[in-house]
Structure 1
Amino acid sequence: MNAAVAGAPVSFGVFELTPEGAQTVSPDAMCEALQSAGYAGIDLGPAGFLGRGAELRARLARFGLELAGGWVQLPFSEDAAFEASLAELDDALRLFADAAEAGPSRLPLPTLADSGSAARSASPGRGAAVDPLSTAAADRLYRNVERAAAAVRAAGFEPTFHHHAGTFVESPDEIDGFLAHSDVGLTFDVGHLVLAGGSLADGVRRWGDRINHLHLKDVDTARVHEILASGGGMSEVWSGGVFVAFGQGDVDIAGVMDGLSAFDGWVVVEQDVLNGPDVAIDQFLRERAADQRTNRDALRAWL
């Protein structure tokens, strides 16, 4: 495997759904924790979190990190909403360009994802039943992904598409459908495939030659089943301790890594957490930093 390992702000509770008013780990404290644990890169996180322009480049250089990728969620199945969201894509691409000015060893991958729907987000793993995507809407999704991919490539980057629980590309069948209609590579997220009821071993076999980005996480499947059985949605998944440090869950990390031995790209370690407004941020940082040391050490047999 010719790859590099990156961490992610979401592993420190920093992402688009961080609760209003919640204390968050600072970008410098996060980068320092990842650097000390031996990571080579970091994902972008919310636009501007790591800075912009010279500030972004200086922060990455100070901690010896490169930008691995970044989440760009767009409403691909609705034409009007997609048009209105293109400014968000343009903003993200400017940030990728800012980071790329430093001449990194690997270019970051803008990580496209569908925004799904409220009904799907409330019923992860059951999206096709609770909110099926019509043929016309699926055609719009594929067409608009191609438009976004063209913009990414015009900016000098290669796109990747993230299948994600609670969106319109969630299940193995939906992933198959997407790949059949697009030449964009796949961000293989082991945790979200588990949430969608898919088999990791089967996913590696089916999509291995299309995977150009890897999001690696461990999952407490008993906790997943408990949350979903009680009617919980993605918010409860993120806040419910589903994603755990490597070795504490049920994901066959070794099987995924061995199965993707030919993979060449970024392995982004994600341990999604959603911290509440009353979190003790110093203790939270210590716990998250310890988890990321555990996660990085678990991959040293391969990287």
Structure 2
Amino acid sequence: MRMRSAGSWKVAGAPVSFGVFELSDAPPPLTAGELVGALAQAGYDGVDLGPLGYLGTGGALAERLGGLLLAGGWADLRYGDEEAFRAGLPALEATLDVFAAAPAAPPHLAPRPTLGCSGSPERFARPGAGVPGLGASAWPAYAARVQEAADRCRERGFEPAFHHHLGTYVETPQDVERLLELTDVALCLDTGHLLLAGGDPVAALRDWAGRVGHVHVKDADRGVHARALDDGADLRELMGRGGFAPLGGGELDLPGVVRALDEIDYRGWIVIEQDTLPGRRTVAQNVADQAANREKLRELGL
């Protein structure tokens, strides 16, 4: 397999892999300094932002990154509801403010605003269960709001990517296709979410090559997912049960994903994620998982 220079891509880790995906009154499982240190020691080049404020803002951000680059960060908006969408725009702007304070990087490695879609009431209860999504009449307004969010990011100098996600209106390959038809936004292709939504991540990388602007490499256990669906579990419970496995522990064709990334001449961030809940595993176990995940990609040439 032909492997290109590492300057074409970099590998980042993510706070969600350590159970840090929201901030509350309870302290996170590990501090930002501990997380960044663990990723740097394992050979990661960057880190995703995580919850707003976790890695700091303004001048504190670069200090906490400790030499790592900022790969991107989640910006959640309710595209299916006009009023809720408007109410969420200040949070998007706040996220972009944090990006603006990040250390400089080449354009293809600048932090990507990851436009996330809040869960839909119908789909969130049973992620990946084939519950019908948006009706044909609702798609134009939904897509117009996605496009508006993307344009706002570009006005601030950042190129966004839309993240399809279990339990939302853009979940299945068919949903993704429709969104790509109606917008010009790049896609954050998440291998684990696509796998559990019935897609083929390797084929998707090839089919959507011209629109893939960001990649989350994530493994998933379809057996855990099926049992969670049978129990009526929600997405949070799926994470708590280990539905997103360490790389090599699920059904993801990881060598195929790496080959496809090379074939499409992908340039940008490869973010390893293993979504989990705080307390499901010890901090030491999570640190070991993420070191092993990085080594899996290194063995495949990344």
TM-score of the alignment, normalized to the shorter chain, above 0.5: yes
Cα distance in structure 2, aligned partners of 1:127 and 1:221: 14
Mapping for residues 140-151 of structure 1, pairs under 5 Å: 140-151=141-152
Aligned to 1:136: 137
Aligned to 1:39: 44
Aligned to 2:26: 21
Mapping for residues 73-88 of structure 1, pairs under 5 Å: 73-88=76-91
Amino acid at match of 1:177: R
RMSD: 1.6
Amino acid at match of 2:105: P
Cα distance in structure 1, aligned partners of 2:180 and 2:291: 34
Could you tell me which runs of 5 or more consecutive residues in structure 1 were left unpaired when the two chains were aligned.
none
Cα distance in structure 1, aligned partners of 2:135 and 2:267: 35
Aligned to 1:111: 114
Cα distance in structure 1, aligned partners of 2:208 and 2:19: 29
Helix, strand or coil: the match of 2:282? helix
Deviation (angstroms), 1:78: 1.2
Aligned to 2:54: 49
8 A contact 1:22–1:275 mirrored in 2 = no
Could you tell me which runs of 5 or more consecutive residues in structure 2 were left unpaired when the two chains were aligned.
none
8 A contact 1:127–1:167 mirrored in 2 = no
Deviation (angstroms), 1:167: 0.7
Amino acid at match of 1:233: D
Aligned to 2:239: 238
Equivalent of residue 289 in structure 1, options 287, 290, 301:
287
Deviation (angstroms), 1:202: 2.6
Residue 90 (str. 1) matches residue 93 (str. 2)? yes
Amino acid at match of 1:299: L
Cα distance in structure 2, aligned partners of 1:128 and 1:51: 38
Report which stretch shifted further, 200-209 or 65-74: 200-209
Mapping for residues 1-303 of structure 1, pairs under 5 Å: 1=4, 2-16=8-22, 21=26, 23-60=28-65, 62=66, 64-99=67-102, 102-105=103-106, 106-126=109-129, 128-129=131-132, 132-261=133-262, 262-276=265-279, 284-300=282-298, 301-303=300-302
8 A contact 2:143–2:179 mirrored in 1 = yes
Helix, strand or coil: the match of 2:208? helix
8 A contact 1:110–1:158 mirrored in 2 = yes
Amino acid at match of 2:70: L
Deviation (angstroms), 1:207: 1.1
| Identity value in percent | 43
Helix, strand or coil: the match of 1:158? coil
8 A contact 2:196–2:220 mirrored in 1 = no
Q: TM-score, normalised by structure 2?
A: 0.92
Provide Cα deviations, 1:24-64, integer angstroms capped at 9, x if missing partner: 2110000000000000000000001000111101111x2x2
Amino acid at match of 1:26: T
8 A contact 2:221–2:249 mirrored in 1 = yes
Cα distance in structure 2, aligned partners of 1:231 and 1:269: 28
Q: TM-score, normalised by structure 1?
A: 0.92
Cα distance in structure 1, aligned partners of 2:284 and 2:39: 12
Cα distance in structure 2, aligned partners of 1:193 and 1:161: 13
Deviation (angstroms), 1:126: 2.8
Amino acid at match of 1:37: A
Amino acid at match of 1:27: A
